[in-house]
Structure 1
């Protein structure tokens, strides 16, 4: 959540941030009212409790009728304290709910507006020009025996698939190359759980505006994650991190699950937009002051990986209204997908500043006392989309696919993926 002091001291800044996201500022007024009610309830409870304690001290010294009178008074005060405590708990719950409805404050540099209001920071490479009619990844995958969509749908339903043969090999190669790059950059490699408790999901902001896209395990107090950002953010929950050890950098592999509830039939063909995929995610804990430079470093590592895949891509600065609840600023790397004749997101990196750390109670102790840390995340590879981009970009007229140079060692030296029939 945002800093409560910011809400109290500069509510107009929070209102302006809501406007930048193209959201109503009603949540600001509700949070201010809830904060006022909460503080009044706390003051009332403490006043009543102090009166109860003072009366209790008098009882010990009193005798006879005076003592009986004081006992009756203490009993009445106890009932009042209990009532005030219930009111305080309710007021704090209402305040907490109101605060959690306010998204992170968008960075001043983030573009204002909605999904289409992004700005292009740079383009790397130029879209490939073909001297033949390029095939889409579905046709190429079938020719190569790289995945089986029909059996995926038969076994699990729409938007599921089997990766087979070179498709499965590509998956493992991409994950291993991403992990090797991360380790070389100083990241701690991690295999993260894909099932988390509600606090982890709520703490990262995924039970807010993104709740409809989350799978919940019926009968269990568990959720399937859509990104390993969730377990990695909760990894150090309720801890105080040594400032001298920051930044803490993790590269987490996990399966990811998404309902794709808001896609409304978009990109249903093939393995671009699916309900399950594997991903390697970078996650960083650092100070707020250092988070902005760290965000640029995460973007640079994402670009390094895409360069290894020899893709044409662009970097966009996501508009405030298209940021998730937790993000202050987000950069997306979008690859050129030939048969879409357009760009498709392969990776993204977000600076969530203190927002998630406040919810999950992750702090650092430094020269200025104990303060919340900043959290950042960035995708190294979302496997299925990377496979789509590789197949379509590096295809040959006969349906074979040239393997990017950097990926070949992870495929046993294989240079070309050839059709199986």
Structure 2
């Protein structure tokens, strides 16, 4: 949710943001007009209410015909007040409806355009060279007894799988290594609910009415999350935070669910694009002034994890048209996948500025120089991936050997019981 007052004072800034997103910039003028109508309707209602209060004071001491006339006037005025209130409510709802579909104001200077218009900020690591034909992650996973897609499909349908043996160990090792890093950096570990109420999903920036990626439990009106970001964004809803000692940082672990409704025919092999996966997600509450600096820190923590799994990767600045509605800016880290001859996303980190916090009414306590309380204002939120199931793809493919064995990255070995090599079981 954007700040309507700020939009009305800076309409061209928001029009430019919409153009960069390749979104409807006429929404800016619609919101401005709707807000003006809302304020006018509210003023009319308040004027009539004030008139009603004055009239009610006159009725008590009045007598006879004068009193009857005042009562008749009060009856007519009450009907007008009720109609004015309904009109103000309707116009306020229109502003809310428009605001709910208006995306976050982007950070100025990020790339404009769609998915293909990203900017590569850096490339890290040398691409592996094999003296044999490399196997893809699924073939390797099957040889290692780590991934079973066939039985996953038998039990649950397409895009489901079993991780077993060293596959299960490898994912848990990644999670433990990521959590250890997060705790060292001052994050609080947290395991989040994976079912949330519609207001929590909407408050995070997802549209439960029109987002085909979301699984809904209709009988209970609950939604399966695609990231622990959703639950964490709602954690402090309608609360006031004291951020005077610095940001509040959570490392949230959860299973995640995505319908992948728009990915028919894409990445059908293996575990790159699946309906269920596990993820360790960083989530931060901070001040609006610190949000961009925290965004850079989140990216640095993601790169620290990528260095530990020893895979080549690149960092991209995502184009405005490829941002979700909550993000003002997003960095993706994409790891090299040898058999696809391409970089594929492993992490993303988004600066959501005050967008989610405003929707959830998460405020920050303000203090004067002498330490006295000085009111509240909306906080800022950010998120970033620290480890997820998809990382297995990059590890298996980049560290494979000719015989189908896979070398375990050095930093992961303590979390794998000291294993240095994963050996085929066939």
Structure 2 length normalisation: TM-score? 0.97
Preserved CA contact (<8 Å) 1:213 1:259: yes
Preserved CA contact (<8 Å) 1:59 1:70: yes
Q: 1:163/1:185 Cα in 2 relative to 1: closer, same or farther (>3 Å)?
A: same
2:74 alignment partner in structure 1? 74
C-alpha displacement of 1:246: 3.0
1:184 alignment partner in structure 2? 184
> Residues of 2 paired with 1:99 and 1:149: CA distance?
42
2:409 alignment partner in structure 1? 404
Q: Please list the CA deviations of residues 89-129 of structure 1 after superposition, one character each: whole Å capped at 9, or x if unmatched.
A: 11111110111221111111311111111111101101101
SS in 1 for 2:244: helix
SS in 2 for 1:67: helix
RMSD: 1.2
Unaligned runs of 5+ in 2: 368-373
C-alpha displacement of 1:210: 7.1
Is 1:387 equivalent to 2:364 in the alignment? no
> Residues of 2 paired with 1:240 and 1:374: CA distance?
12
Preserved CA contact (<8 Å) 2:115 2:318: yes
Preserved CA contact (<8 Å) 1:183 1:189: yes
2:260 alignment partner in structure 1? 260
C-alpha displacement of 1:208: 7.0
> Residues of 2 paired with 1:126 and 1:314: CA distance?
11
SS in 2 for 1:244: coil
1:135 alignment partner in structure 2? 135
SS in 2 for 1:176: helix
Preserved CA contact (<8 Å) 2:110 2:317: yes
> Residues of 2 paired with 1:266 and 1:98: CA distance?
33
4+ runs deviating over 4 angstroms: none
SS in 1 for 2:395: helix
C-alpha displacement of 1:264: 2.7
1:308 alignment partner in structure 2? 308
Q: Which moved more, 1:316-325 or 1:83-92?
A: 83-92
SS in 2 for 1:219: helix
The count of corresponding residues between Structure 1 and Structure 2 is 420
Is 1:372 equivalent to 2:378 in the alignment? yes
> Residues of 2 paired with 1:54 and 1:260: CA distance?
60
> Residues of 1 paired with 2:246 and 2:410: CA distance?
35
1:117 alignment partner in structure 2? 117
Preserved CA contact (<8 Å) 2:208 2:214: no
> Residues of 2 paired with 1:171 and 1:61: CA distance?
80
Preserved CA contact (<8 Å) 1:208 1:325: no
2:216 alignment partner in structure 1? 216
> Residues of 2 paired with 1:134 and 1:222: CA distance?
43
1:344 alignment partner in structure 2? 344
C-alpha displacement of 1:85: 1.1
SS in 2 for 1:200: helix
> Residues of 2 paired with 1:412 and 1:146: CA distance?
16
Preserved CA contact (<8 Å) 1:175 1:381: yes
Preserved CA contact (<8 Å) 1:209 1:325: no
1:96 alignment partner in structure 2? 96
> Residues of 1 paired with 2:276 and 2:363: CA distance?
33
SS in 1 for 2:220: coil
Preserved CA contact (<8 Å) 1:101 1:208: no
C-alpha displacement of 1:38: 0.8
> Residues of 2 paired with 1:6 and 1:324: CA distance?
21
